[in-house]
Homo-oligomer: A and B are copies of this chain.
Amino acid sequence: MDTLISKFPDLVGQAVTVKGWAYNVRSSGSIAFLQIRDGSGFTQAVVVKTNVDEASWQAAVDTTLESSVEVTGTVSKHPKQEGVYELQASSVKLIQKSEEYPIGKKEHGPDFLLDNRHLWLRAPSQWAVMRVRNEIIYATYDWFRDHDFIKIDSPILTPNACEGTTELFEIDYFGERKAYLSQSGQLYIEAAIASVGRCFDFGPVFRAEKSKTRRHLTEFWMMDAEMAFVEHEGNLKIQEELVSFIVKRVLENCAAELKLLERDVEPLKKVVAPFYRLTHAEAIRILREKGSDIGDMDDLGADDETTLTQMYDKPIFIEKYPAAVKAFYMKRDPSDPTRVLNADLLAPEGYGEVIGGSQREDDYEALVARVREHNLPEKEFQWYLDLRKYGSVPHSGFGYGLERLVTWICGLHHVRETIPFPRLMNRLEP
């Protein structure tokens, strides 16, 4: 019976066939140990020369690192390690022999590994990261379904910058005009709330920033959510519930992956709503007490975020930033019109911003004024302004960067390991 290694706990004593790749091989004159990976998990096949036919023994001996193999045998419990299962082989087939697999046991530099990303993905650490990423994606979909959201895919090809910023990738659209790759789907899904009430998108976005920090990719995955009739407070509540749910799901379903990544799960267990909240003004005061010379109305930098998140054991919302440092569509705080009803969510342990969100300006005249203040092309934003003319409602939304969430939850240093095929300023391959 063909099976997956992940099903072994239910198959002890049964004869099964597993197909996969050998990621480690040892053999002596009479016994061979083939460590096999099939995508669902890892196991060791024990091949005793006297228990198999000659062709099988030869196949076991010929098996090299990353060769593809098919092993039939009986599932057994590991004699000493609890929860570990082995395969007592009765037959081995070598499907394709791998010669000189380039990734070895020695340390490789990041450039070498990224050049071989198509193979590096097989490393147990990368397998684990991809499975945690998958769980975060699924947890997000599940939470949104349970909370009456509909997926509304926003377009990538757009006629202008969503937030009026520069740093966009430009394309020639049929020789007739320029198009740009979207940085965010937010404005588009704002249109959809009047149809479906609550919605989200989840897809790739693009930033042509000439940045080489460990938090930047030129192509990354973003989830944007938008909710009609939700104001600032409700927005934060939805975010902390979603993030708590995601972390809980990863803890429940990816314990083996986190262990493999040597992720300390204690800090993750504390990620339970409600999160901490600081106003931007409070954050500035704290940073100054810590010796920073940050100005009252300055934006927070990555270092400032790191300082703050090292002080708290849960994610922190920093809310009500100065309007001057934030996007044109954010609604002003009625109690202080120099500030907006926004919040950035900072992940603990120094990770920093994972979510940005705000209540949106829903008054037509106020929004027209903002568009003009930001020197945005009013005509091209008319469709967005229309949303405030025809049944405008208070509404809010937020977006998370998937790779930043994966980096934090996996406890990684660099965002580049968190996406299957990273795109950086100097990297388009493989």
Contact = CB atoms under 8 A, between A and B. Distances in A.
Interface stretch (A24-32, A74-82, A284-292, A384-392): A384-392
A428 interface: yes
A118 B208 contact: no
Contacts of A122: 194-195
Contact of A391 (B96, B118, B362, B390): B96
Nearest to A41: B197
Nearest to A38: B197
B153 A393 contact: no
Contacts of A131: 150, 196
Given A21-B194, A39-B196, A119 B152 contact: no
A423 interface: yes
A388 B95 CA distance: 11
Contacts of A133: 151
B39 A179 contact: no
Contact of A195 (B121, B174, B204, B423): B121
Number of copies: 2
Contact of A171 (B67, B169, B191, B380): B169
A174 B425 contact: yes
Nearest to A96: B392
B174 A208 contact: yes
Contact of A383 (B38, B126, B429): B429
B21 A391 contact: yes
A331 to B, nearest CB: 14
A138 B145 contact: yes
A338 interface: no
A390 B156 contact: no
Interface in A340-397: 362, 380, 383-384, 386-393
A99 interface: yes
Interface residues of A, number: 92
Interface in A184-226: 188, 191-198, 203-204, 206, 208, 210, 218-219, 221
A193 B130 CA distance: 12
B425 A196 contact: no
Contacts of A19: 228-229, 393
Interface string A302-337: 000000000000000000000000000000000000
A90 interface: no
18 contacts: A19-B228, A21-B194, A39-B198, A67-B391, A96-B388, A134-B150, A152-B420, A155-B204, A155-B423, A156-B204, A156-B219, A157-B218, A157-B428, A169-B173, A171-B171, A177-B428, A380-B429, A384-B430
